[in-house]
Structure 1
Amino acid sequence: MQAILTFNLKDFPRETVKSYGLDIVNPDPWRSGVVKQHPAEVLEVLAQLLHSSRNPPLLRPDCCTSLERLGLPTSAAHLRTRWAAED
């Protein structure tokens, strides 16, 4: 099934969207699933992004805090767990 990835549920009524063969997916569980299924790839991309941030430099905790502010607390928690396992 195809899906719309959005926090904006009010503009995409589930029944209307289903009539088009689509589903509505919240970004946080979806992104968390990507982190769980492809941790090495996700961590590598994030490492490159963190390394390239210069002004101001972005650290791992800052990245997780930003994700939480964006409404992705589960994703941030998974990343914290993965990074803690590396240290």
Structure 2
Amino acid sequence: MRFVVIYDACVLYPAPLRDLLIRLAMTDLFAARWTDQIQDEWSRSVLKNRPELSDKLPRTIELMNKAVPDVVVTGYEALIEGLTLPDPDDRHVLAAAIQSGAQLIVTFNLKDFPDSVLSGFGIEAVHPDDFVTQQFDLNEGKILAAVEKHRQSLRKPPKPVGEYLDTLAALGLVVTAERLRKFEDVL
């Protein structure tokens, strides 16, 4: 069975981070998962800041769900009520992780997923920067190829490598950006 990770809503918005994480999921190094509820959560955040995107978000969600095989977790809802987390609104994420057999929840909100709760389910919460660097350590070639494809896909406007890496750092992937700077010539 492949290593399974749940992407929390907070790592699916902003778009550059979401796109990179989807590209990484397409490497087959791990199986990424999310739920319709997670999709609803990040898309509501987008619409608060960018209401003009309301017509485009359904297509984005559809493309995301098609890009990663078997990505949508279902059947987790009955687990929610029995879970306790600092923020009750995050229980659905843990329930989806349990249902899908995930080992990791990729999130910026580490305090909302304490080890004392998650360890009982064999799950760990990890910051996206740590997650990407872990994947980089496991298969440098596949991660570099995915990052290169991601950067090359940015055409409106195109991003030079240095600017792209600055964007990753600004999104919280500081260590990842620094490690990738050593490979600027292939990105």
Classify the TM-score, shorter chain.
0.7 to 0.9
| 1:60-86 Cα shifts (integer Å, max 9, x gaps) | 1122111111111100011001225x5
Question: Is 1:56 matched up with 2:151?
Answer: no
Question: Is 1:46 matched up with 2:147?
Answer: yes
Aligned to 1:71: 172
Structure 1 length-normalised TM: 0.78
Percent identity at matched positions? 31
Show structure 2 runs of 5+ residues with no match. Answer: 1-101
User: 26-35 or 73-82, which moves further after superposition?
Assistant: 26-35
Structure 2 length-normalised TM: 0.41
Check whether the contact 1:35–1:79 (CA below 8 A) recurs between aligned residues. Answer: no
Show structure 1 runs of 5+ residues with no match. Answer: none
Distance in 1 separating the partners of 2:152 and 2:123: 37
Distance in 2 separating the partners of 1:18 and 1:37: 23
| 1:2-52 Cα shifts (integer Å, max 9, x gaps) | 121211023212211122221222221221122233222222222222223
CA RMSD of aligned residues (A): 2.0
> Which residue of the other structure, out of 14, 22, 30, is the alignment partner of 2:131?
30
Q: Which entry has the higher C-alpha Rg, 1 or 2?
A: 2
Aligned length: 85
Distance in 2 separating the partners of 1:5 and 1:52: 23
